Copies of this chain bind each other. A is one copy, B any other.
Amino acid sequence: MLVVMKSHATAEQIAAVCAQIERLGLRPHPLPGAQRTAIGITGNQGEIDHSSLSELSGVTDVIRVSKPYKLVSRYVKEDDTIIHFPGTDITVGGRDLMIIAGPCSVETREQAYRTADAVASAGAQFFRGGAYKPRTSPYAFQGLGEEALLILSEIRERTGMRIVTEAIDQDALDLVADYADVIQIGARNMQNYSLLRAAGRKRKPVLLKRGMSATLEELLMAAEYIMSEGNYEVILCERGIRTFADHTRNTLDLSVVPAAQQLSHLPIVVDPSHGTGKRDKVLSMARAAVACGADGLIVEVHDQPDRALSDGAQSLYPEQFAQLMREARQIAAIVGRSLPGNARGQVAAQEEPVNA
């Protein structure tokens, strides 16, 4: 169910509709657009009395939505979702591409600083680095936990980059939401619905990775779980699917980018590092991702890939990342997008060299 407000509806009228929806025992989701605000309604098992809403002032239409995904859908919100980062001019989902770079895991302060300075210099606005690592083996390195989150906070101070890091469970989520700027939900947890709901109750953007064998509809429904709790800032991420093909670790499914953008207003970024699993394919596929219209990239960079505790084989060297940024910038221009760069990070990196 969707309440469409008139284009000149006031904030008070919108609030009044939301209040009425709550009075009906349902949940309102006001989703502002360029022309008008629409208010999604969730929680309805049965019929809703139309007239109790359509008669309210400022309401132009009340329509039934039959798709399984509602809040994620362009049907409910036609305009692209653009996410703003408070205290910065960084946006995601608009003209600027979101470039996220950094090591698979935060291993030591020195390693993280060196890589952060390198990617900031190259113009990244977002830094990634795992504090909690979902590993296939219980005996493999599982991340530094809160210690890593502290280091990531320092890197934000140091470089101005916003921090993206994964939450693997409820406990990690609480800490990640405190320290980081974007909460990552990994591919293995894409259908961990309790975690999705919990992330939906946080007020930080969520980067939601597509599960290894998830259809587009399942990805959108996972985003719907987050949005249904009131967190509307979800960034989708294609990171490769599992197929029979064995020349890459996963098969990067770039066609999901235009397909998602057609159905949903949410931004979608591409991870060519996990998407291929091989360093020598990352640049090609990063270019392809920008060319096909992705809203950003998330790339693994390590200053010493051969010594990485995890995923070294797919991590770029810093100079390769700098090349990726140059190429992405050129292709972005052709498809009507831009790479803003990270002025402050570049200065910081020059002024405060790390003692390696």
Interface residues of A (CB under 8 A from B): 42-43, 68-70, 134-139, 168-172, 188-189, 191-195, 197, 212-213, 215-216, 218, 221, 224-225, 228, 241-248, 251-259, 262, 275-276, 280-281, 284-285, 287-293, 327, 330-331, 334-335
Contact = CB atoms under 8 A, between A and B. Distances in A.
B215 A245 contact: yes
B192 A188 contact: yes
Contacts of A290: 291
A61 to B, nearest CB: 21
Each complex incorporates copies of this chain amounting to 4
Contacts of A137: 68-69, 221, 224
B138 A197 contact: yes
Contacts of A257: 284
Nearest to A272: B255
Given A134-B193, A172-B194, A287-B334, 17 more contacts: A136-B218, A137-B221, A138-B221, A139-B228, A168-B193, A169-B192, A170-B194, A213-B244, A215-B247, A216-B245, A216-B246, A241-B251, A242-B244, A247-B259, A254-B284, A258-B284, A287-B291
Given A42-B139, A169-B170, A255 B281 contact: yes
B256 A247 contact: yes
16 contacts: A68-B139, A69-B137, A138-B224, A168-B194, A171-B194, A188-B193, A212-B213, A213-B244, A216-B246, A241-B243, A245-B256, A251-B251, A254-B288, A257-B284, A259-B281, A291-B331
Nearest to A256: B247
Contacts of A330: 334
Given A212-B213, A334-B327, A258 B280 contact: yes
